[in-house]
Amino acid sequence: MHNFSSSPQDESEWTPLFDTTPLPAPVEPIDLLGVRIHPVHLHELLDYISRTIAEDRRAIVTNVNVRAMNLAYEQPWFREYLNTSALVFCDGFGVKWGAALVGRHLPERMTPPDWLPDLARLAAQQRWRVYLLGARPGIASEAAIALQRDEAARGLFVVGTHHGYFDKRRESAENRAVVAHINSVRPHLLLVGFGMPLQERWLYENWHDLHVNVALPVGAAFDYLAGVVPRAPRWMTDHGLEWLGRLLIEPRRLWRRYLIGNPLFLWRLLRWSVFSSAQ
């Protein structure tokens, strides 16, 4: 566990008095394969996080890509996690295009590695306390340093980091120690990067024990920020081909997710659309 900085002086006496009722999402969700997805723009997403923290409320803000949609279809707990999260945004062109195919609109795809620098700048401006949890030992710390290199995020208060290689069973001694450390530094914003679905399962099981305002799963974002895993070229990530870039970089690990998962999502979506229209 690593503490990056002491708390800002004007927050030294801050004690969380959470309103556990999440703020209403800024827009009504659409329904896709039984999953609620909010058609938000990035500025609405950032504003929702900001208002939640300003009002000292609590919210899980989470994302869906094709893999998430397949997991929600197959695993009831994952679907419940998504549908009880305060705000669910689109992280994947596959979901955006799939929604359009069945007559539903998602305005943009927002993947955490692209917009975490924007979130870091906002956190620095608002003097939020931030905790990074996940990845291999040392990577979360490197990711925090990378975010703080941005001139506009120099004041980012990263109050702690911890790797993701611990016993995540809720009642395990290691898990209790991690939760206790997070609560001891009282972050406003908790970024969790275990990869899907481990990060969602961990939040699903531990959310009520955590003293944080906003929790946000970020997948492999720490690895990308730290520079230990390359991303596909920008022309691919901006045109719906990030899945292909990731497949080329890590074919043995990801071939099933994309070569089987993507067509499976499309087939499930079309079948669901036809069935829904017939009712």
Two structure tokens written together for 81:
């996690």
| Cα distance between residue 212 and residue 209, in whole Å | 9
- 75-107 pLDDT, tens digit per residue, is 999 999 999 999 999 998 899 999 999 999 999
Phi, psi of 229, deg, nearest 5: -130, 125
Confidence (pLDDT) at 226: 95
Two structure tokens written together for 107:
């305005």
Tell me the pTM.
0.88
- 202-214 pLDDT, tens digit per residue, is 999 999 999 999 9
Write down the H helix ranges in 31-133. Answer: 42-54, 66-74, 76-84, 93-101, 112-126
| Cα distance between residue 214 and residue 20, in whole Å | 11
Confidence (pLDDT) at 6: 38
Mean pLDDT of 248-254: 74
The chain-wide mean pLDDT, for the chain, equals 89
Q: What share of the chain is helix, strand, coil (3-state, %, to 5)?
A: 50, 15, 35
| Cα distance between residue 213 and residue 205, in whole Å | 16
Task: Return the domain boundaries, the chain.
Answer: 19-226
Which distant-in-sequence residues (6+ apart) come within 8 Å of 177 by Cβ? none
Confidence bin at 9 (pLDDT 50/70/90): very low
Confidence (pLDDT) at 15: 47
Confidence (pLDDT) at 238: 73
Looking from the CA of 12 toward its CB, the CA atoms found within 13 Å total 3
Looking from the CA of 27 toward its CB, the CA atoms found within 13 Å total 19
The dihedral formed by the CA atoms of 222, 86, 180 and 196, expressed in degrees to the nearest 10: -40
Q: Nearest Cα to 127, choosing from 210, 50, 182?
A: 50
Mean pLDDT of 115-135: 97
What single-letter DSSP state applies at residue 231?
P
Mean pLDDT of 48-63: 97
User: In the beta sheet, which residues pair with residue 30?
Assistant: 37
| Cα distance between residue 118 and residue 122, in whole Å | 6
pLDDT of 3 strictly over 70: no
Q: CATH says 19-226 is which class?
A: alpha beta
Confidence (pLDDT) at 180: 98
Two structure tokens written together for 94:
């596959």
In angstroms, the first-to-last Cα distance of the chain is: 53
| Cα distance between residue 192 and residue 214, in whole Å | 11
Confidence (pLDDT) at 53: 97
| Cα distance between residue 142 and residue 124, in whole Å | 17
Residues in the chain: 279
Confidence bin at 7 (pLDDT 50/70/90): very low
